[in-house]
Structure 1
Amino acid sequence: MRRVLADFFAGLGPALLPWRCLVCTDPGEGALDLCAACRRDLPWNHCACARCGLPLPRPAPRCGRCLGHPPVQASTQAVFRYAPPLDRLLPRLKFHGDLAAGRLLAGLLAEGLAGAPRPAALVPIPLHRSRLRQRGYDQALELARPLARALALPLLANALQRGRATAPQSELDARARRGNVRGAFRLAPGIALPAHVALFDDVMTTGATLAEAARLLRRAGVARVDLWVAARA
C-alpha cells in the first residue's frame, strides 16, 4: 500500500503539487524539490580518493591509507560529502520515511553516477529483518530502486541478506565497527552474480559494512566490486 500511494502522489506532478525546495522551502527548480541556490551549494564529492571515496584537497587515484592498505573494492563513487544539506536530507529518509527527500536524493544520485564505470548489476546493502520490521522500509533499497531504473541497471535487491542483527554502526568506533559486521552477511541461495557489481549504501563512514559485503561477493567469485554511496563522511 505504501508503494502504491507513493507512486500515485508522484504521478500527480507539479500541476497539483508544485515543487518546493526541501532545504529552504523556496520554489523548486525544474522537476526537483530543490531551488537553484540550494542546488549550487550541494556538497558534491568531486575531489576524492578514487579507491575509497574519501574527500581530499584534490582528486587522486589513492589516498595514503589506500596506498598502505588497498581495500577490497576496485573503486568508490561517493556522490556527495556528508555535509549540509545531505546530513539533513538523508536522515529524513532513513529515520522519518520522507518519500520526497528520497525522490530528490535518487534524482541527484542518478545525475552524479551517470558517468561512473557501469557495473552489470546494482546490489543494495540490506537491513536485518528485525530492523526492517521496526522501520518499515529499507532506505538503501528505496534509493537503489529508482537509481537502477534511471541508469537502466539490473537491481539484485535480494542478493545479500543479513544473517544476524548488528548494533548500529553510528554508536561504535572504527575497530568496533569492523567486528560488529564481521560475518553479518550471506548470499541468498541460488543467486547468480555477474562478474562486475556495484554495492550501494546511503552513507559511508569507515566503510566497514561495505567492505564486509564486498569481501563476501569477491569470495563468491565476483571479479570486480565497486562501491556506490550517496554520501561519504
Structure 2
Amino acid sequence: MDLCAACREALPVSDHACTRCGLPLAYPAPFCGHCLRGPPPFEATWAALSYTSPVDGLIADFKFRARLPQGRLLGQLMADVLAPRVVMPDCLIPVPLHRHRLRERGFNQSLELARPLARRLNCALIHDAVIRIRATPPQYTLAATERRVNLRGAFRVAPGFEAGHVALVDDVMTTGSTLREIAAALKAHGVGRVDVWVLARAG
C-alpha cells in the first residue's frame, strides 16, 4: 500500500503549532496559553499530521482492525515528515501497552510507527525502557479531566535505563496525559530531556 504524491500533499497538516505541546494554533506563536501557564514535563512536540479526516480513519484501521500495511505506510510517512525537523535524541521510546492490551491487540501501534523512524534516523529504538505496570481503561473512553487520574502510577522506567535525551513515539496526541505521565517518570529517573513525536495531533 502506498500514497501517490497528490494524496500525500492533501494530507492535513497544521500551519502553526505550540512548540512545547504541538497544539495547533490559529496564528504563529512559540507557545500556547496552556504551556505558558504550566508547561508539560517534555521539552518539544513534533507532529507529522493533524488528526482530522482522512488521517483519523487511516489510524483507526491500522490500530483497531490490524491493518499492518497501513501502519507501515503511516510510519514511513511520519519518518519522511519528521526526519528533517527533529532534534536527534539518544534513543526512541514507543509508548508501551499493558501486557493484557498487547495480547488482545497483537501488536503495539507505537512500536510499529517507531521502527521506520529508527531506521531512517539511524537512532536506537528501546521498546522496553518504559513499562506499563497497571492496566487502565482506554483514554479515548474518558473525559479530559479523568485522563490524568486514570494514568497515575501506570508507568515505570526499567531499572538500569540511562539516557540524556529521549523521544517518545505515539500515534495520536489528544490531551497529552499519557505522554505527560511517561515524561514525568523519565525525568524522575534522571533523563535530562524528553521530546514527543506523534503521527497526528488533535486540536
Q: TM-score range by the shorter chain?
A: over 0.9
Q: Does 1:148 align with 2:133?
A: no
Q: Does 1:131 align with 2:101?
A: yes
Q: Distance in 1 between matches of 2:32 and 2:80?
A: 25
Alpha-carbon deviation of 1:35? Answer: 2.1
Q: Distance in 2 between matches of 1:127 and 1:160?
A: 10
User: Which residue is 2:16 aligned to?
Assistant: 47
Instruction: Identify unmatched segments of 5+ residues in structure 1.
Output: 1-18, 20-32
Identity %: 56
Q: Does 1:119 align with 2:127?
A: no
Contact 1:52 1:75 survives alignment (8 Å):
yes
Q: Does 1:103 align with 2:103?
A: no
1:77 match: secondary structure = strand
Q: Distance in 2 between matches of 1:71 and 1:187?
A: 18
Q: Distance in 1 between matches of 2:186 and 2:112?
A: 22
1:198 match: secondary structure = strand
26, 36, 44: which one aligns with 2:5: 36
**Partner letter of residue 126 of structure 2?**
L
Contact 1:102 1:142 survives alignment (8 Å):
yes
Q: Distance in 1 between matches of 2:153 and 2:39?
A: 20
Q: Distance in 2 between matches of 1:205 and 1:198?
A: 17
Q: Deviations over 1:152-180 (max 9, x none)?
A: 11001110101110001001011100000
User: Which residue is 1:3 aligned to?
Assistant: none
130, 144, 166: which one aligns with 2:136: 166
Q: Does 1:232 align with 2:201?
A: yes
Q: Deviations over 1:99-131 (max 9, x none)?
A: 221121111111111121111110111000000
Which structure: larger Rg? 1
Q: Distance in 1 between matches of 2:9 and 2:33?
A: 30
Q: Distance in 2 between matches of 1:113 and 1:185?
A: 26
Alpha-carbon deviation of 1:45? Answer: 2.8
Q: Distance in 2 between matches of 1:230 and 1:199?
A: 11
Q: Distance in 2 between matches of 1:58 and 1:153?
A: 33
1:79 match: secondary structure = strand
**Partner letter of residue 95 of structure 1?**
F
1:97 match: secondary structure = coil
**Partner letter of residue 168 of structure 1?**
P
Contact 1:201 1:230 survives alignment (8 Å):
yes
* TM-score, normalised relative to structure 1: 0.83
2:125 match: secondary structure = coil
Instruction: Identify unmatched segments of 5+ residues in structure 2.
Output: none
1:227 match: secondary structure = strand
Q: Does 1:58 align with 2:27?
A: yes
Q: Distance in 1 between matches of 2:96 and 2:147?
A: 16
- 1:53-92 alignment to 2 at 5 Å? 53-92=22-61
Alpha-carbon deviation of 1:141? Answer: 0.5
Contact 1:50 1:59 survives alignment (8 Å):
no
Alpha-carbon deviation of 1:204? Answer: 0.5
